[in-house]
Amino acid sequence: MTSATATIFRDVAAAAEFDRNGFVVVPFLDADQVERLREVYFRHHAESDVRARTIPSYAPGFYASTFNNDMDYRRAVSAEVAAACAPALARLFDAFKIFYAGFLVKLPDANGRLRVHQDPTLVDEARFTPVNVWCPLQNIDDRNGALCVLPGSQRLCRGPRATSIPPQWAAHESLIESRMTPLHLAAGSAVLFTQATLHASRPNLSDAPRITATMFLCHETASIRIAHRRPETPERIDFYAQDDDFMFQNVQFSVNSTGVPQIGRHLDSMPYDAAPVAADAIVRLAAL
């Protein structure tokens, strides 16, 4: 565990579980706070607009507020979600900064499985451990899009991650999925997980949208640093410094996500390590 991680978590036991498994489930919002966030969601989103902005290449019926390139919308939604969650965040964390807050939604769709993935590197993970907050606004079970995680998988590959960098575990996706833990959660509880933790989600087979509030936060001294691998220089990975409002300003989440970053400042480069993750390394995670 980095010192930054030790500082951001107030609860020592939660910090230890997060460090060991790459995630921890905690009580987060009460019933009134859940209803407040549901009101925020439905005030900003008509179902027809959400459906029009899904990106089927991720998963049919899957919507993320970062897919909407209306900057005023992104800022308004982020501010309202963060405000509703402020008491919970202050209870759990210290010396933290919120880089973005929003919604992840799964509309009913039997084909809406979200494949195994890790989230892109957004900070210097040699110094800081980022925290994703995933808080469902309705009870989650096998039918409505449960989040699945592979415990300990944040240790599988330490290198930078981006949509332009092939994942080192790709040959073992079926094995990974078979060993994942589905998380059945009560509305208002939250999964806190690292950007590096392997996760996926099941399709929503219910008759209502699965609505999740989400936040990305890190130590207050962290800054955004993203990675990219150019086709013309495949032997290296480049790093780009970004302003703290990168999650609002970047339009490439939904347009040309593998392209060279159009904003930010080039920092430096490192050699690309293409060494694949071995299947037995995945199997051994259960024993750690």
pLDDT digits (tens, 9 = 90+) for 139-180: 999 999 999 999 999 999 888 999 999 999 999 999 999 999
Contacts of 179 by beta carbon, 8 Å cutoff, 6+ apart: 150, 282, 283, 285, 286
Helices 71-92 and 31-44, axial angle in degrees (round to 10): 170
**Which DSSP helix (H) or strand (E) runs through 202?**
none
Under the banding of pLDDT at 50, 70 and 90, the label for residue 57 is confident
Could you tell me what percent of the chain has a pLDDT over 90?
88
- The class (CATH top level) of 3-287 is mainly beta
What pLDDT is stored for residue 5 in this prediction? 45
The CA distance from 163 to 161, in Å, is: 7
pLDDT digits (tens, 9 = 90+) for 194-245: 999 999 999 999 999 999 999 999 999 999 999 999 999 999 999 999 999 9
pLDDT exceeds cutoff 50 at 1: no
Task: Report the DSSP pairing between strands 210-219 and 96-106.
Answer: antiparallel
Structure letter (DSSP) for residue 115: E
State the first-to-last Cα distance of the chain, in angstroms, to the nearest integer. Answer: 15
What pLDDT is stored for residue 287 in this prediction? 64
Buried b (16+ CB within 10 A) or exposed e, 206-233: eeebbbbbbbbbbbeebbbbbbbbeeee
Structure letter (DSSP) for residue 181: E
What pairs with residue 147 in β-bridges?
Answer: 183, 201
